[in-house]
Amino acid sequence: MPYIIPVRGFTPKIGQDCFIAENATIVGDVTMGDECSVWFNTVLRGDVNTITIGDRVNIQDGSVLHTLYKKSTIEIGNDVSIGHNVTIHGAKIHDYALIGMGALVMDDAVVGEGALVAAGSVVLSRTQIGPNEMWGGAPARFIKMVDPAQSKELNQKIAHNYLMYSRWYTQPDNSDNLE
């Protein structure tokens, strides 16, 4: 059973048709949209400030989302993929963005619509990543523009796949195959 813990008068709000792994932890002022998935060993810690998550967001294994007390919040749009072992601390992630495995996105950073943050990147505080930009490195730097249609298609496919994977756990007889 996942740990869903109220704190400071805030109880997490989880949308419809979401998958929360057995050992995921969701605390406090967290609002999650519909058809999201929060995978194994992931922590969404809304104890000191607000975490707002859109629809069809997948937050993969080992990720940690947290904020600064009275200073930063997390806002995540729709159809966003947060890779394995990502740390997001007080940042805004727009629709169709992809945060690669092991990346770190710090306070007041903004990741634009359809943007890609490469695996292992360190996005420093207050960094502004524009729509459809690819950034990578430590600290993260602009690499190139990505085609908006390709970015949206890729991220919608990943979001769809993670929705399908989550249904393997909630509907064991579901035999969807990857296309």
Tokens 């072992």 correspond to 85
- CA-based torsion, 70, 21, 36, 160: positive or negative: positive
Global pTM value: 0.94
Q: How confident is the model at residue 155 (pLDDT cuts 50, 70, 90)?
A: confident
H/E segment holding residue 111: strand 110-111
**Whether 35 contacts 49, CB under 8 Å:** no
Of 126, 124, 125, 92, the closest CA to residue 111 belongs to 92
What digits encode the pLDDT tens for the residues 16-71?
999 999 999 999 999 999 999 999 999 999 999 999 999 999 999 999 999 999 99
The residues that bridge with 159 in the sheet, in sequence order, are none
Assign 174 a pLDDT band (cuts: 50, 70, 90).
low
Nearest to 101 by CA among 166, 150, 158: 158
Q: What is the mean pLDDT of residues 101-114?
A: 98
Q: Is the pLDDT of residue 122 over 90?
A: yes
Per the model's pLDDT, the better-predicted residue between 172 and 48 turns out to be 48
Q: Residue 176: its pLDDT value, please? A: 55
Token look-up 């969701």 returns 26
Helix (H, G, I), strand (E, B) or coil at 97: coil
151/132 Cα distance (integer angstroms): 7
**How much is the pLDDT for 175?**
59
Nearest of 109, 71, 112, 117 to residue 95 by alpha carbon: 112
Instruction: Give the angle subtended at the CA of 106 by the CAs of 102 and 107, to the nearest 5°.
Output: 155
- Which domains does the chain carry? 3-170 (2.160.10.10)
